[in-house]
Amino acid sequence: MHSISVQQLSKAYPTRNKEPFFAVRDLNFDIGEGEVVAFLGPNGAGKSTTIKMLSGILTPTSGEARIIGLPAGSRDANKQLGLVFGTRSQLYMHMTVYESLDLISEIYYVTGPEKKKRILHLAELFQLEKHLQARTRTLSLGERMRCELVAALIHKPRVLLADEPTIGLDVVAKNKLRELIRLWQQEEKTTLLLTSHDLSDVEALCHRCILIDHGQKQYDGSLPGLKGDLSTLRRLHITVAESEKKPLTQEIRIKLMPDSQDYVHKYEVRTSEIPMTETISRLSQHYGDTLQDLQIFEVSLEEVLSNRFTQKALR
């Protein structure tokens, strides 16, 4: 049985024209137990609409979605579901963090000694012990988002839907939250469906991604597979000691980039055409003692998606 199953899922809205507007149309995918999957797409692609149908906030126009085999939006399905929206809070701002978590636990019928044990365990895991007696409104955004995750996990859901959980966080807070999510997922093996415009979240946490655009699935597979032909592209930055040192130009398979500078020469190569070891050897021979540093970069996921959607818009 799949943790999440979506079959021919559609959500349409009436318009002034005869044809309705489909935010999501005939969407199909399955996510297995314990998988961590990124749900990607540009603004308006239908990601949040799909998340809201999975959680029962919106009712599908047609098709169906199931959580652990149960109809999405049903009480039994929601007992198995945790939900985090980076732009909305389920905590009570005037209460202490512990009081909010205590109340949310009761809503999910987590009571007695188990309630306190669960709160303290998650507070330790997400490093929130010292904030339990603080009022929610006094927390930083990073601290509050960790509390939001604890609130979503308090009833031991088998599926977590996280919509932009790191939005608005600084780099340090994002890295901290990602690491805590990774540790939690390894411990509890909960299925995670993550939507984020910060693709470093995706690369840090996910091995599979589902890509949608205009409400329809465009790709479902591994992150390296999403890169396609760009997966073999590498960029090399060579730092030289002398500005007079000329870059390597006679090697056709090692392409000099136009944004190269006097002390930093930039190249593009495809490992499918020339092995990286051979590239490094040729560049080392060319630069000799003037070579101070060599950096190798893969194409980022952000660039891959930008390239994919730009090309699609131009067609």
Rg, Å, the chain Cα set: 24
Q: How confident is the model at residue 244 (pLDDT cuts 50, 70, 90)?
A: confident
Query: So what's the pLDDT on residue 275?
Result: 93
Report, as an integer, the average pLDDT of 35-46. 90
Weakest mean pLDDT among 110-124, 161-175, 208-222, 286-300: 161-175
Rounded Cα–Cα distance for residues 156 and 115 (Å): 11
Tokens representing 240 are 């030289």
**How open is the CA angle 153-157-159, to the nearest 5 degrees?**
110
Q: At what angle do helices 97-107 and 141-153 cross, to 10 degrees?
A: 20
Rounded Cα–Cα distance for residues 181 and 165 (Å): 10
Flag whether pLDDT at 196 surpasses 50: yes
Rounded Cα–Cα distance for residues 256 and 186 (Å): 43
Query: So what's the pLDDT on residue 310?
Result: 67
Give 273: exposed, middle or buried? Use CB within 10 Å, 0-12, 13-18, 19+. Answer: exposed
The CA-atom distances, in angstroms, between 178 and each of 37, 172, 187 are 14, 10, 14
Query: So what's the pLDDT on residue 311?
Result: 59
Report, as an integer, the average pLDDT of 278-287. 93
| 220, part of any domain | no
Query: So what's the pLDDT on residue 314?
Result: 40
Flag whether pLDDT at 3 surpasses 90: yes
Report, as an integer, the average pLDDT of 103-107. 93
Report, as an integer, the average pLDDT of 65-87. 92
Rounded Cα–Cα distance for residues 126 and 184 (Å): 8
Percentage, residues of the chain above pLDDT 70: 98
| 44, part of any domain | yes
- Give the global pTM: 0.80
Where do we find the tokens 């009571």? Answer: 111
Tell me the per-residue pLDDT of 264-274, one tens digit each, with 9 for 90 and over. 999 999 999 99
| Judgement on whether residues 298 and 239 belong to the same structural domain of the protein | yes
Cβ atoms of 190 and 145 closer than 8 Å: no
Where does a domain end: 214, 248, 263? 214
| 307, part of any domain | yes
Long-range pairs for 220-224: beta carbons < 8 A, 24 or more residues apart: 220/29, 223/38, 223/301
* Residue 253, domain CATH: 3.30.70.250
Question: CA 91: distance to chain centroid?
Answer: 23
- Given strand 291-298, what is the order of strands in its sheet? 255-256, 264-270, 233-240, 291-298
The whole domain housing 198 covers: 4-214
Widest CA span in the chain: 75
| Judgement on whether residues 57 and 186 belong to the same structural domain of the protein | yes
Rounded Cα–Cα distance for residues 230 and 300 (Å): 9
Percentage, residues of the chain above pLDDT 90: 59
Q: What average pLDDT is seen over the chain?
A: 89
Where does a domain end: 214, 240, 265? 214
| 131, part of any domain | yes
Rounded Cα–Cα distance for residues 50 and 42 (Å): 14
Report, as an integer, the average pLDDT of 44-48. 89
Where does a domain end: 162, 188, 214? 214
What is the per-residue burial (b if ≥16 Cβ within 10 Å, else e) of 198-210? bbbbbbbbbebbb
Tell me the per-residue pLDDT of 138-193, one tens digit each, with 9 for 90 and over. 998 888 988 998 999 999 999 999 888 888 788 888 888 888 888 888 888 899 99
| Judgement on whether residues 245 and 186 belong to the same structural domain of the protein | no
Flag whether pLDDT at 315 surpasses 70: no
Rounded Cα–Cα distance for residues 41 and 153 (Å): 26
